[in-house]
Amino acid sequence: MAKPRHGKASMARPRMASFGPKTLLFALPLALPVVMLQSSIQHLLPVRLQTYFSSSHLQTSEQAQATPSNQSLLEACYTHTYTTEIVSLDPLVIYINNFTSAAEAEELINIGEPDFAPSFISRAHTGANVRVSGRTSSSAPLPQDHPLVTCILSRARAFLGGSMLPDEPFATPQLVKYRPGEKYDLHTDFWPTHQVLKDGKGKGKLMNRPISFFVFLRDTCTGGETYFPLVEVDGGVVGDGKWEGRMAVGPVGGGGGGGDDDDGGVGEGRKRKGVRFTPITGNAVFWVNLDGEGRGDQRLVHAGLEVKSGEKVGMNIWARRFYGEVDDW
Ligand SMILES: O=C(O)CCC(=O)C(=O)O
Ligand SMILES: [Fe+2]
């Protein structure tokens, strides 16, 4: 099992240095042509290079302050490769090996680390955030304009290909951290009724989450599998042992001929219900939450099983899809 690396220099966003008015006077004439040049050529660059010239980079001077190792992490990010295996066609669940490198995983945790707070869930329709006993982890948002986060999201967008429209955004990616005894009970990532995003002028946009990626970023734990009790796999798929250490099948808690570690000796062609993905740093699970009409698929109900020892950190990446407007006074 790949172990995460520790102790790397952080790419966490640098705080802005304070400059006096004089400095600004000198800096402005220099900055303006760069900004003008940036806006005039940005659209001519390949998409992956456009982010290097985005205004957020200029404003926060992240490029200028990046250490050589962070710079090379970012460069490697845009040429990173991964492999995929379909776990289930219907509903669609895809396993992604090496979706992030171990170094990227550790850096993503570094970026979010200062912002961890107790996790909550957001209620359908109202969008109100509430704490619930079924979700005991901590969560941290990842800023979408951070260069590494931007790169990882462009990787996710490339994966989605034509299934995500250019004007459909990602939600803010979310880190989740579990310590011993922490878990997230069965839930779906979609809302049964679309959420209303208020525009402050009496209108609301209906929104939901068509797809989910859950990426394991730190696997120094026992327990903590991501469990889909209703996803079925063919016995022949798991019988040859190639999933060993990555995915187990059968219901959690034994009984019914299942058992906790029921991925060996499964007869070919026999459908097995329930899959559990072991946390492995860098690997990810992708699934489709909504059908073409925006209806949620209950078969994608899932849980983050209790972490027994150590620490698990994951990252949620959710796309957003809009389903028209409503009046919302
Ligand atoms: O922790 C996990 O394994 C799954 C987390 C999850 O499903 C979520 O945060 O929505
Ligand atoms: Fe989830």
Q: Tell me: the pLDDT tens digits for 234-266?
A: 877 777 788 999 999 999 975 433 344 444 445
Structural contact between residues 234 and 312, judged by C-beta atoms closer than 8 angstroms: no
- Within 8 A by CB and 6+ apart from 44, the residues are none
pLDDT at position 63 over 90: no
Least confident of 14-18, 191-195, 298-302, 321-325: 14-18
pLDDT of residue 270: 81
| Beta strand extents in the chain (DSSP E only) | 83-88, 93-97, 117-118, 121-122, 129-130, 138-141, 174-178, 184-187, 195-198, 203-208, 211-218, 221-223, 226-234, 247-249, 271-277, 284-288, 302-304, 307-310, 312-318, 321-327
pLDDT at position 129 over 50: yes
Residue 251 CB neighbour total at 10 angstroms: 18
User: Cβ(226) to ligand 1 under 6 A?
Assistant: yes
In terms of pTM, does the model score above 0.80? Answer: no
> Distance between CA 319 and CA 62 in Å, rounded?
26
> Distance between CA 92 and CA 198 in Å, rounded?
31
Q: Which helix (H) or strand (E) holds 112?
A: helix 102-112
DSSP classification of residue 15: P
User: Cβ(304) to ligand 1 under 6 A?
Assistant: yes
Q: Which helix (H) or strand (E) holds 158?
A: helix 147-160
Main-chain dihedrals φ then ψ at residue 302, nearest 5 degrees: -155, 170
For the segment 62-90, the average pLDDT, to the nearest whole number, is 85
Q: Which atom of ligand 1 is nearest to the CA of 174?
A: 9
Structural contact between residues 173 and 149, judged by C-beta atoms closer than 8 angstroms: yes
State pLDDT tens for residues 160-211. Answer: 999 999 999 999 999 999 999 999 999 999 999 999 998 888 899 999 999 9
> Distance between CA 275 and CA 247 in Å, rounded?
7
With cut-offs at 50, 70 and 90, classify the pLDDT of residue 29: very low
pLDDT at position 213 over 70: yes
For the segment 27-33, the average pLDDT, to the nearest whole number, is 36
DSSP classification of residue 79: T
User: Cβ(189) to ligand 1 under 6 A?
Assistant: yes
Pairing of strands 312-318, 247-249: unpaired
SS3 198: strand
- 260 alpha carbon – ligand 1 mean position (Å): 19
The CATH superfamily holding the domain 83-224+279-327 is: q2cbj1_9rhob like domain (2.60.120.620)
With cut-offs at 50, 70 and 90, classify the pLDDT of residue 67: confident
Instruction: Please tell me the residue having the least CA distance from ligand 1 atom 4.
Output: 304
pLDDT of residue 160: 98
